[in-house]
Amino acid sequence: MKMKEIIAKRTRLIDASGIRKVFALGAELADPVNFSIGQPDFDVPEPLKDEAIKAIKAGQNKYSQTVGDSLLREKIAGQIKEEFGWARPAVLVTSGVSGGLLLAFMAIVNPGDEVIIPDPYFVMYKHLVNMLGGQCVFVDSYPDFELPVEKIADSITDKTKLIILNSPCNPTGLVYSAQQIKALGEIAAAKDVVILTDEIYEKFCYGNKCTSIGNYYDKALVLRGFSKPYAMTGWRLGYVAAGESLRDVVEEMTKIQQYTFVCAPTPFQKAAIAALDYDVTSFVDEYRKKRDLIYEGLKDKFELVKPGGAFYAFVKAPGGSGTEFVEKAIKNNVLIIPGNVFSEKDTHFRISYATSDEKIQQGVAILCKLAH
């Protein structure tokens, strides 16, 4: 049997070539300015490490329940109830928000179903929908990247199964306003469409507190996690919460988790209980300063929208081609990601400013020289 006959056809629907190309080009660089990695440059706080170590030493290393540690779920449910007023939230602890996304798409999307995705978007959405036989309906949010509420409304059809919301947004760093999110909730309610809201960056807001669709719409799946605010990217911990109207979806996600991830890592779930009470204000303050370094350093040479959250900036490439500018930047020791990894367009590039202030200043100087 030929290799092409062995490999499932669905794998052809997943394209990682954009990111792979960046890493291939940057593999030989010595001490590059790395603006490509979407993970915090600080470490897991010591008290949370201690909780994980304590759990490991106490022998809490076996499977948890598939749905997650009961104390952790109870604490999450209490916070969700207080925040959204949902009477009896359904909670599932997942192997990262990425794991939660896979479970959610598998539980909801049938072949031929349409999924509305504002463009630019987090890279996983497109590929998961395609792999499951769904149809991505991209809604353009250029040039300001604000939530395109009316365009989303116009894109809803009888085949629409899901609307994806991501605020603060990867790759743009946009934080949508309460008015925009409320308006989207009203449209979804009128059309009876589920909203999946990816809120992995909800702690990283540099203005007012981030608004969740959960405040306005109960037919929402809320996905949050521990990777970004507590630097637990390698611990693989996230959760999904839903109101009563989507309890059956969470039950189906739990069933799928039983046959895939089995459960999230048990000792880290114990540490996550403490994490829910840990104050990350100092980290957010540091990243606000990094955001300002990036924005103030680039705004006179580049076209970009000031990020309101997360730790990304989505910058228009001089000359019009994101891919060409990325290649030029990498040749000058700066790793950035072309915008077509996150978009149906190739006009921008993404910067992650989750690195040291020194590296940010160094990278900004190089990029500004290349802008001429």
**Predicted pLDDT at 19:** 66
Residue 194, beta-bridge partner list: 162
For helices 281-298 and 357-370, what crossing angle results, to 10°?
A: 20
Same domain, 244 and 292: no
What are the residues whose beta carbons fall under 8 Å from the beta carbon of 372, sequence distance 6 or more? none
Same domain, 34 and 53: no
Same domain, 252 and 293: no
- Cβ burial 322-340 (10 Å sphere, 16+ → b, else e): bbebbebbbeebbbbbbbb
How far apart, in whole angstroms, are the C-alpha atoms of residue 23 and residue 284?
A: 28
Where a domain ends, among 275, 293, 325?
A: 275
**Which CATH number covers residue 285?**
3.90.1150.10
The domain of 224 spans 47-275
Same domain, 284 and 271: no
Same domain, 39 and 86: no
Where a domain ends, among 249, 275, 301?
A: 275
Q: What percentage of the chain exceeds 90 in pLDDT?
A: 88
- Cβ burial 256-295 (10 Å sphere, 16+ → b, else e): ebeeebebbbbbbbbbbbbbeebebeebeeebbebbebbb
Where a domain ends, among 229, 247, 275?
A: 275
**Which CATH number covers residue 91?**
3.40.640.10
Secondary structure (DSSP) of 209-256: PPP-GGGT-SSEEEEEESTTTT--GGG--EEEEE-GGGHHHHHHHHHH
Same domain, 62 and 188: yes
Same domain, 186 and 300: no
Q: What percentage of the chain exceeds 70 in pLDDT?
A: 96
Q: What is the pLDDT of residues 143-156, one digit of tens each?
A: 999 999 999 999 99
Same domain, 62 and 186: yes
Same domain, 287 and 270: no
Q: What is the pLDDT of residues 63-117, one digit of tens each?
A: 999 999 999 999 999 999 999 999 999 999 999 999 999 999 999 999 999 999 9
- pTM value > 0.85: yes
With residue 160 as reference, give the H or E element that holds it.
strand 160-166
Same domain, 148 and 265: yes
**Predicted pLDDT at 127:** 94
Q: What is the pLDDT of residues 225-272, one digit of tens each?
A: 999 999 999 999 999 999 999 999 999 999 999 999 999 999 999 999
Strand order in the sheet with 90-94: 90-94, 238-242, 220-225, 194-198, 160-166, 114-119, 135-140
Same domain, 269 and 323: no
For helices 17-26 and 322-331, what crossing angle results, to 10°?
A: 20
Q: What is the pLDDT of residues 308-319, one digit of tens each?
A: 999 999 999 998
Same domain, 224 and 265: yes
**Average pLDDT of 328-346?**
95
Q: Can you read off the two tokens belonging to residue 46?
A: 């010591």
Residue 347 has pLDDT above 90, yes or no: yes
Q: How confident is the model at residue 24 (pLDDT cuts 50, 70, 90)?
A: low
The mean pLDDT value of the chain amounts to 94
Q: Which of 125, 96, 38, 41 is nearest to 337 (CA)?
A: 38
Q: Give how many domains the chain has, as a whole number.
A: 2
